[in-house]
A and B are shown apart, each in its own frame.
Chain A
Amino acid sequence: MPALFRETQNAKLGTGNWKLETEQPSFTIGVIALQGAFREHCRALESAGACAREVRRRRELEGLAGLVIPGGESTTIGKLMVSYRLLESVRALAGAGMPVFGTCAGLVMLASGVVEGDQPLLNLMDIEVRRNAFGRQVKSFEADLDVPLLGEEPFHGIFIRAPWIERAGQDVEVLARYDAHPVAARQGGMLVTAFHPELTGDLRLHRLFLEMAVSARREGPPAAALRSLGN
């Protein structure tokens, strides 16, 4: 029997010496839960020491220290974000300092443009992306990536009909490349990967994001944006 399947990841989610350092009594990260692999992100965030909250409606954005946009189908997620008026609220909160972590479809959502096609985007990062850049599902792959920011140990990248970053603006810090194409990047409070850390059990990128969220909190919560949220 081949090695199984859906993350036997809990066994691997070792806690190590890393601890989420925050005085916030409830440090909650939202996960957009319209479609896709949102439960895996919730699990990873909780293993890394944060509280996770599924977000389907605007009111569920209230009081978040950060937000994850998971993998899934970006056209589906984008349409539902428009229908339930999440697009504008997330844009306002991120503009006021709330960090956002996007994986795969989430990377596409954070971009300022896609190479082919026309779909609703958050336009929060100065990147242009190519969807399904590596090809159809038969070209989906796993590969170890060098991510200097995370230390020497490579990060296991799971790429599923993945996008890549076609063009990155000068304020964008590229964190990893595959075949010369940027596949992980950061700009201000925005973090993106073309691959799926939530499927690996390696928590380093979720921890990096939590650290970003902790320092954003220290600089003050986006109170004005929160007040203007309404329902």
Chain B
Amino acid sequence: MKIGTMTVKAGLAEMLKGGVIMDVTNAEQARIAEEAGACAVMALERVPSDIRAAGGVARMADPDKIREIQETVSIPVMAKARIGHFVEAQILEALEVDYIDESEVLTPADESNHINKWKFKVPFVCGAINLGEALRRVSEGAAMIRTKGEAGTGNVVEAVRHMRTITAEIKRLAGMDEDELFKAAKELRAPYELVKWVAENGRLPVVNFSAGGLATPADAALMMQLGAEGVFVGSGIFKSAEPAARGKAIVEATTHFNDPQILAKVSSGLKEAMAGLDIKDIGEENLIQHR
């Protein structure tokens, strides 16, 4: 009997596919998310739009808060650790969270190294804005990738950019002959074996979700049609006027992403979406996707 293998780590991500992972900050929100049909929840202290507004240092959530959420729902509970903060990850593993998100949404703890994720039994999901970044995270042991988007903005434009970038880069690799892959690996700053695997298989070696800025059922379906295998929705649900209804609508839109009749139906009658931010107004230096 073996626990903590890459097979069971990546296997849980396979089971989450086609689903919606919702950010929640307390037990009540977790219950609403589960009731809306979320396939997992992300436990955190504040949703990204509040982190963005508050400034300062954003850290791992309080263990009490995480436990409270774990006791409330039966679906998987994920939690965020700061980039490179392997002790926060050790604490989250001790709490038996189901997935750790080594997340740029929190303030990075190490500017040059990510967590060595092979050392953990609990699986990790990491953000990426392009193929090279995704493969570097996989080489460090990430069992799931999510495109970063720009968290807390309610603006899907960066999520689209990152998904299109990764898809285009995979297509480009697939068209190369073997001799060209060495140079491609160097340019991507990614291990050659992983680059070769992607070229041969035409996809990432782990599940890839979309995240960052999704706020409507149409946003979720857009990302699914662009090739996402599922979606994370952060501020988009609990910063909207009617979280329960919006959550359910986004779940249905993610399942029926190719069915415009259903998309029209579930998009109707939802109250105000979260207020959005234009990326141009944020300023390049304030983007968290470059962390």
Contacts and interface: CB of A to CB of B under 8 A. Distances in A.
B7 interface: yes
A140 B12 contact: yes
A32 to B, nearest CB: 11
Contacts of A137: 8, 12, 76, 96-99, 122-123
B11 interface: yes
Interface residues of A, number: 44
Interface string A27-53: 000000111111110000000000000
A56 interface: yes
A6 B10 contact: yes
Interface string B239-253: 000000000000110
A199 interface: yes
B262 to A, nearest CB: 8
A224 interface: no
B133 interface: no
B191 A36 contact: no
A164 B256 CA distance: 30
Contact of A136 (B18, B96, B255): B96
A199 B7 contact: yes
A141 B5 CA distance: 7
Interface in B184-218: 191, 193-194, 197, 203, 205-207
B17 interface: yes
A140 B3 contact: yes
Contacts, number: 137
Interface in A123-173: 131-132, 135-143, 158-161
Nearest to B207: A6
Q: Which of B8, B97, B207 has the most CB of A within 10 A?
A: B8
Interface in A1-28: 1-6
Contact of B121 (A4, A138, A143): A138
A60 B236 CA distance: 32
A83 interface: yes
B135 to A, nearest CB: 11
B190 to A, nearest CB: 11
Chain B CB within 10 Å, residue with most, of A3, A104, A142: A142
Interface stretch (A73-81, A91-99, A214-222): A73-81
Contacts of B183: none
A123 B149 CA distance: 42
B38 interface: yes
Contact of A160 (B12, B18, B256): B12
B79 to A, nearest CB: 12
B90 interface: no
Contact of A35 (B12, B39, B194): B39
B106 to A, nearest CB: 21
A10 to B, nearest CB: 9
B11 A140 contact: yes
A123 to B, nearest CB: 19
A230 interface: no
A81 to B, nearest CB: 11
Chain B CB within 10 Å — which of A136, A140, A142, A199 has the most? Answer: A140
Given A73-B19, A75-B74, A76-B37, A138 B4 contact: yes
Contact of B74 (A1, A104, A132, A138): A132
A196 interface: yes
Contacts of A160: 8, 11-12, 15
Interface in B16-63: 16-19, 34, 37-40
Contact of A2 (B6, B12, B259): B6
B279 interface: no
Given A35-B18, A138-B93, A140-B8, A76 B205 contact: no
Contacts of B4: 138
A71 interface: yes
A141 B206 CA distance: 18
Contacts of A3: 6
A139 B8 CA distance: 9
Given A142-B2, A158-B7, A196-B11, 14 more contacts: A1-B139, A5-B6, A6-B203, A35-B39, A36-B18, A37-B14, A38-B18, A136-B97, A137-B8, A137-B122, A137-B123, A140-B8, A141-B5, A199-B14
Pairs A-B, 4 closest by C-beta atoms: A137-B98, A140-B8, A73-B39, A5-B205
Interface of B: 1-8, 10-12, 14-19, 34, 37-40, 70, 74-76, 93, 96-99, 118, 121-123, 138-139, 191, 193-194, 197, 203, 205-207, 251-252, 254-256, 259
15 contacts: A3-B6, A33-B18, A36-B15, A36-B17, A37-B15, A73-B16, A76-B19, A76-B38, A137-B96, A137-B122, A138-B93, A138-B96, A158-B8, A160-B12, A196-B11
